[in-house]
Chains A and B, each alone.
Chain A
Amino acid sequence: MKRGRMRELPLHLMILPSVILLICFSYLPMGGIIIAFQKFVPAKGLFGDQKWIGFDNFIYLFRLPNFMSVLWNTLFIAVMKIIFGLLIPIVVAILINEVKNNTLKRGIQTAIYLPHFLSWVVLGGIFIDILAPGDGLINQVIKAFGGQPIFFLGDNKWFPFTLIVTETWKSFGYGTIVYLAAITGIDLSLYEAAQVDGANRWKQIWHITLPGMRMVIVLLMVLSLGNVLNAGFDQVFNMYSPPVYASGDIIDTFVYRIGMLEAQFGVATAVGLFKSVISLTLISVSYWFAIKFADYQLF
């Protein structure tokens, strides 16, 4: 037994630095959630002698006139992004799989994966430029076809859709990779058998390719449940402005503004906690479903 414990000591030592860092930057902040129940004065410090006010921050929050619209914006933008993010890659993966020329296939893949690896700072800067109402590339095209210029980033009617479309643009390529991997796993003899039976290409896609992707589709759908409150802070923060707060302000940007800019630490922490608790519930449910029905294994 003693020998066994000696053998385990190096394992504890190996993992120790990571554990310390996680305690410092993940678990200590969890302790810092107490801020949500305090009238927090930053100068007194975290875990300092703060005044406890129970649920007052939460009550204040739910009475804020714009909190409900922030919640709605978050849900709407996030759910739309999830739906497009699931469906479009399925279609594109099937189309790519039908390309027989390998150079072309690789070239297309290289191009459509690229935006995923660029930051929203770079892409936000680019979109602010090309979506500008006056001299932006898109509006020049619209004007060339005789249309009225659209202020994509400044008009509440257009802003949420601009967010959804640009997010889909950034990540659909990335989404196809997993589906393509699933398609590669399909037994080729199934297609040969189908051809012998006279099934055309559409029938092959419908009866072989799609069912072959079914497990991955279900799994990704279930796991996306955890993102229902993640409307994409990086993107919104780099594309929004005060005129479109009504349609584009989301929980995370709201937390940033009331916390970091208005220094209402207690209220901002309460909003963050509200989001984290709901997300934790959703993520747990989604993992439970994935493990139970999709044979998913994390560890």
Chain B
Amino acid sequence: MKKNKKFKWFPVLNTIILIMLALICVIPLVHVAAVSFSSSAAASAGDVSLWPKDFTTSSYSFVAKRPAFWRSMKVSVTRIIMGGGLSILLTITAAYPLSQPKASFRFRTVYAWFFFITMIFNAGLIPWYMVIRQFGLLDSIWALILPGAVPVFSVILLLNFFREVPRELAEAAFIDGAGHWRTLWTIYVPLSKPALATLLLFSLVANWNSWFDGLILMNNPDKYPLQTYIQTIAVQRSFSMMTREEIQQMATISDRTLRSAQIFLGSLPIVIVYPFLQKYFVKGIVLGGVKG
């Protein structure tokens, strides 16, 4: 009886520990959101913890009027659409040949090594930058899209997925006169929809979150994607991207609430999408985790 009672303490304690862990993971974001909706006086006085004080949306109306914010938002949206679309297309078209048995594609191993080497050896930042500069891509949206357009890791995940597709289906299609293209698009792609959704989602998130390439490949701050723009505001805390009028207006709202608002906006698309697509996020990690 005594043993039984002691037994029941564990689930309670366990639940408390885990709920605290869960709270620790979301509190920083909640705090930033709370600051962003607070009055500048409350924020500067450090009165805001997890709930807005003197609720106001003035920081957001200020951000909404900033041309620099919308410009970088546009760069980011263009980038995730083009970059995400291109990378999923290239993942499919690269994974299919690599998933072929050696008998039907003799160069498979050569290509596989060709892809694999890029994963384990990296030339480093400077040669990479010099090549992109030499191609004349600096300050062009293509510099943000093309260099990372072939996600080799996703290719490997998808080719493993394609291999699970029963070979008989492809052979039946060949007998019916379909070529590789038709087989790929009518058999392999429809059967891999969940995996493709996961890979697309990861590519979109990666494109949305990248900031460093924007920082070094775009000399003109007008071409910064949103995360790079936020980097200059929230991390470098530079005023270089502000117009004179904006700096004057800054007198009325605090630097801190404004920064918090933009940080929060930078995380917002992911925070909104993530709970609905969590299934895909998790599947991607399980696929990728052990293939790291």
Contacts and interface: CB of A to CB of B under 8 A. Distances in A.
Contacts of A201: 7, 10
Contacts of A113: 278, 281-282, 285
A118 B131 contact: no
A216 B292 CA distance: 12
A112 B116 CA distance: 32
Given A130-B31, A283-B120, A122 B292 contact: no
Interface in B155-205: 155-156, 159-160, 179-181, 184, 205
A32 B123 contact: yes
B1 interface: no
A111 B275 CA distance: 9
A30 B123 contact: yes
B49 A223 contact: no
A174 B202 CA distance: 14
Given A14-B180, A268-B126, A99 B235 contact: no
Contacts of A265: 126, 130
A223 B123 contact: no
Interface stretch (B56-64, B77-85, B106-114, B238-246): B106-114
B17 interface: yes
Contacts of A219: 290
Interface in A247-298: 252, 255-256, 259-260, 265, 268-269, 271-273, 275-276, 279-280, 283-284, 287, 296, 298
A118 B14 CA distance: 27
B14 A29 contact: no
B107 A12 contact: yes
A112 B131 contact: no
B32 interface: yes
B63 to A, nearest CB: 14
Nearest to B122: A276
A146 interface: no
Interface in A205-219: 216, 219
Contact of A122 (B23, B104, B131, B263): B263
A181 interface: yes
Given A19-B114, A201-B7, A255-B126, A14 B286 contact: no
Nearest to A181: B286
A88 B260 CA distance: 30
Contact of B274 (A7, A117, A135): A117
A169 B123 CA distance: 30
A42 interface: yes
Interface residues of A, number: 97
A51 B56 CA distance: 61
Contacts of A237: 212
B76 to A, nearest CB: 11
Interface centre among A45, A114, A219, A233 (most CB of B within 10 A): A114
Interface centre among B3, B127, B227, B260 (most CB of A within 10 A): B127
Interface centre among A27, A92, A126, A134 (most CB of B within 10 A): A126
Nearest to B92: A14
A189 B120 CA distance: 41
Interface in B260-281: 260, 263, 266-267, 270-271, 274-275, 278, 281
Contacts of A14: 93-94, 96-97, 180-181, 184
B37 interface: no
A129 to B, nearest CB: 7
A190 interface: no
A22 B115 contact: yes
Given A121-B235, A126-B29, A265-B126, A24 B97 contact: no
Interface string B232-255: 011100000000000000000000
B57 to A, nearest CB: 19
Interface string B218-234: 00000000011011011
Contacts of B125: 252, 255-256, 259-260, 268, 272
B126 A259 contact: yes
Contacts of B133: 42
Q: Return the 8 tightest CB-CB contacts between A and B, nearest first.
A: A272-B124, A32-B127, A125-B234, A135-B46, A178-B289, A29-B123, A111-B22, A119-B209
Given A18-B150, A129-B259, A130-B32, 12 more contacts: A24-B146, A26-B123, A32-B127, A35-B126, A114-B29, A125-B263, A178-B289, A220-B290, A265-B126, A272-B124, A276-B121, A299-B159
26 contacts: A8-B107, A11-B100, A15-B94, A18-B150, A25-B128, A45-B134, A46-B130, A95-B17, A98-B10, A109-B282, A110-B275, A113-B281, A121-B227, A122-B266, A122-B267, A125-B230, A125-B233, A125-B235, A125-B266, A130-B32, A177-B285, A234-B211, A256-B125, A259-B126, A268-B124, A269-B127
